[in-house]
Amino acid sequence: MDRIDRLLNKEGSFSKEDIIQLLQAEGNDKTKLFERSARIKSQFVGRKVYFRGLVEFSNICSKNCYYCGIRRANGNTERYNLTDDEILDAVRFVHENRYGSLVLQSGEVSSPRFTRRITRLLQKIQEISGGTMGVTLSLGEQPEEVYRQWLENGAHRYLLRIEASSRELYHKLHPNDSIHDYDKRLGCLRNLQRLGYQTGTGVMIGLPFQTYEHLANDLIFMRDFDIDMVGMGPYIEHKDTPLYEYREQLFSEKYRFELTLKMIAILRIMMKDINIASTTALQAINPIGRERALKIGANVLMPNVTPGMYRNNYKLYENKPCTDEEAGDCTNCLDVRIGMAGDEIAFGERGDPRHYYRRVEKKEES
C-alpha cells in the first residue's frame, strides 16, 4: 500500500499535514482521492442532486469587501432591487417545477425595514408552497433576534460564508472597521447554529496571500464547527475591486479549479453526510465544472431563477455564466448535465443535510 492509499484509508481524522498533502496530490494520487470521495458520496448521501432555486434579489450592499464586484464603493455596478412580486414569481416557478428548495440572496443589508420585508416574503413563500418548500437565506450578518424571527416565519437554512477562516487572511480581504469584523461574523455563525438553523458556510479558493495551510485550516474549521452545509468555489478576480491589483500573483484559473475540486473531495471524506454545493464559479472556469464537482462529492446545485434582465448586475466576479438565460433554460440544461455526471435530480425533495439531524440528536442527548 503506497502513501496515498494509507492516507485515504486512515482511521480517525486527517491532520493539517495530511490535508496539505492531499491538496498537493497530482496524477494518480489525485485520481485516487477523487475515487475515494466519490465512493463516500454514494455511500453516505447517495447519487441524488438537490436543487435550490437561487433568487439574487438585490445587489445593494453595505459592505466594501476587497474581492467583491458588488461592494459598496464600486460605482460601475448598476444597482437593482427586485419587487416583492418579482421575487414571488420566481418562488412560484421553483414550486411549480418541483425544485423543493429556494435560496434568497442579496447584498448585505441590515435594517428594521429589510427585516420586515424578508419576514413578509417568508410568510408568502410558505403560503405559495403550502409549507413544503425548504428556504435558505444568504443575507449576511444580522442581529440574533432577526435570525430568530426569520426562522419562526419559515426559513430553514442559512448560508454565511466565512470566506477565510484565518483571522489574518480575513483582515487582508476586508477593510479594518466595525462593519467588517471577523469576530462578529463568527458570532453570527454560532447564533445561527444555536437557534436551530441548518447552518452553512464556505470559503474562496486561490485567493491572493492564501497558502495550502490556510486551506487546510479552512477544512478543519468546518469540521470543528460541525457545519451542516458548505458552498465554496474558486476565487475569480473582478476588475473593479482592490484585490485585482494582485492578479499576477494568482495561481492559474485551471489550478484554482482543480484545487477547488480537491477541497470538495477532501471535505466529503472528512464530513461524509453534509450537503456540499457545486457552485456556479466552477462553471465560470470550466464549462463542465459543476458536473465534475458532482462526480467527486458535491450533491447540491443552485439553478439561477432570478429574472434574466437582472442577472448580469449580480456580478461578484468576472465571466459569471448563464446571465443571458431565463429560469426554464437553466432547468433543461441542468437536467442533461446531471445525467452526464451519473446523478439524478431529486425533484420535490427539500434535501435537508443528514448531518443536521445527527448533530441535533447528539445535542439533545448531551
pLDDT tier at 318, thresholds 50, 70, 90: low
Domain with 358 in it: 3-365
pLDDT of residue 322: 58
How many residues can be counted in the chain?
366
Mean pLDDT, rounded, for 145-172: 98
pLDDT of residue 323: 52
pLDDT of residue 363: 83
Cell of 257: 479549479
The whole-chain average pLDDT of the chain stands at 93
Mean pLDDT, rounded, for 150-163: 98
Mean pLDDT, rounded, for 253-266: 98
Distance CA 60, CA 82 (A): 11
Mean pLDDT, rounded, for 122-132: 97
Nearest 5 degrees, angle CA 18-CA 22-CA 27?
150
pLDDT of residue 321: 61
Q: Which of 8, 20, 92 is nearest to 55 (CA)?
A: 92
Distance CA 220, CA 217 (A): 5
Q: How many domains does the structure of the chain reveal?
A: 1
Distance CA 162, CA 182 (A): 8
- Is 10 a residue whose pLDDT tops 80? yes
pLDDT tier at 46, thresholds 50, 70, 90: very high
Would you give the DSSP letter of residue 24? T
pLDDT in tens, 174-228: 999 999 999 999 999 999 999 999 999 999 999 999 999 999 999 999 999 999 9
Mean pLDDT, rounded, for 109-133: 97
Which domain CATH number covers 270?
A: 3.20.20.70
- Scored b (16 or more CB within 10 A) or e, 282-319 reads bbbbbeebbbbbbbbbbbbbbbbbbbbebbebbbbbee
- Judged by DSSP in three states, 319 sits in coil
What's at 278, amino acid-wise?
A: S
Element at 135 (helix H, strand E): strand 134-138
pLDDT of residue 252: 96
What's at 89, amino acid-wise?
A: D
- Is 138 a residue whose pLDDT tops 80? yes
Which of the pair, 11 or 79, is modelled with greater confidence? 79
Element at 43 (helix H, strand E): helix 27-44
DSSP symbols for 75-110:
TTS---B--HHHHHHHHHHHHHTT--EEEEEES---
Distance CA 15, CA 270 (A): 11
pLDDT tier at 356, thresholds 50, 70, 90: very high
- In 247-322, where does DSSP find H-type helix? 253-270, 280-285, 289-296, 308-311
Contact in structure between 209 and 166 (CB atoms under 8 Å)? no
- Is 352 a residue whose pLDDT tops 90? yes
pLDDT tier at 331, thresholds 50, 70, 90: low
- Is 147 a residue whose pLDDT tops 80? yes
- Is 329 a residue whose pLDDT tops 70? no
Would you give the DSSP letter of residue 306? S
Other residues' Cβ atoms within 10 Å of the Cβ of residue 211: 12
**pLDDT above 90 as % of the chain:** 85
